Amino acid sequence: MRGAALSSSGWLPCVAATLASLALLCLAVALAMTVGEMHIPLQVALQAVGNALFDLGYAVNPIQQGVLVDYRLSRALFAACCGGALAVCGVILQALLRNPLAEPYLLGISAGASTGAVAVMVLGLGGAAVGVSGGALLGAVMALVTVAFLAMGAGGTSERVILSGVAAAQIFNAATATIVTTFASAEQARGVMFWLLGSLGGVRWPDVWLATPVTLAGFAVCLAHARTLDAFTFGEDAAAALGVSVSRVRLVLFGTTAAMTAVMVSIAGAVGFVGLLIPHTVRLVVGPRHSRLLPAALVTGAVFLVLADILSRVLIARQVVPIGVVTALFGAPAFALILTRARRPA
């Protein structure tokens, strides 16, 4: 009985944090619908959503109805999906590599996805048969292969994997810059370069319908491997001794993170540091067990990126700051702090 009570009490911080994050997410989405060049009261925003979902017949200005439902709500919901997906990817990569600095942006996965997406947008490679998301997925897989190849040649330690990710990111960033400067028109180049900094300005409902199932399916796959990820905490040898098929798990989870990252990058561009900042923040509250960490990271990452998107619209009057710049403002100091703590002797 005592053990059961302890086990039950151990879940209380996780449940409380997740419920609080869900409530905060609803508030953040509601706030996101009211903020912008056209300020719209919260009551009008809720009426517009009621009209769209249940045809309640509230007297909402047609322009405001369109802005709220077709633009702001879709943008906020995609931001939630993107933030949650990237946070989950950060948790997975940190567990598999046993490195607190691992995340899609630093490992070059985002850079590879950007290159693949730009190749489709500018060069038309694959055309409609591949699509921007398909090109981003191929680029992300190529980045993972490049990182694996470089890391194996450098010794294969987790530190070498991070350094290999930095090198791969530079390779793919150079490839992206070459494509844009050589083949893109001036108008294309401006649009692509702004998109590469992270932009939610072009998000519409089809993007939400793509991002939502990818996020939920990827999260389900990762959560199904929660106990296996706990075993990876003690190293691959220890996980194998416990009966874990290390190669299969790594393949499945690396593939899942690549797919999730590719879809988000193909829509929003490279949004960095979410996968680095959120896992460490959430881990302080719910602990290291992945059955608790993954759900909390999903919701907290969603809240973070919705709030970051709001900040991007109000930081400079009448101008939208790229979302990647806003996340970097928070993520770069966190990266420095984590790096300092990682180098500190035990």
Domains of the chain listed by start with CATH number: 26-339 (1.10.3470.10)
Query: Model confidence at 184, in pLDDT bands (50, 70, 90)?
Result: confident
pLDDT at 6: 41
CB contact at 8 A, 109 and 140: yes
Confidence of residue 279 (pLDDT cuts 50, 70, 90): very high
Cα separation, 250 vs 255, in Å, equals 8
Which tens digit of pLDDT belongs to each residue from 289-320?
999 899 999 999 999 999 999 999 888 878 88
Q: Cβ atoms within 10 A of the Cβ of 291, count?
A: 14
Distance CA 344, CA 317 (A): 42
The mean per-residue pLDDT over the stretch 178-184 comes to 91
| The predicted structure's pLDDT at residue 319 | 85
Supply φ then ψ for residue 316, to 5 degrees: -125, 130
Q: What is the DSSP string of 98-164?
A: T-TT--TTTTTHHHHHHHHHHIIIII-TTHHHHHHHHHHHHHHHHHHHHHHHHHHHHT--HHHHHHH
pLDDT > 70: what percent of the chain? 90
What is the model's pLDDT at position 10? 56
- In the predicted model, what is the mean pLDDT of the chain? 86
pLDDT at 323 over 60: yes
The angle at the Cα of 100, spanning 243 to 114, to the nearest 5 degrees, equals: 100
**What is this structure's pTM?**
0.89
Residue scoring higher pLDDT (99 or 279): 279
d(CA 109, CA 168): 8
Q: At what angle do helices 109-118 and 246-268 cross, to 10 degrees?
A: 50
Higher pLDDT, 187 or 306: 306
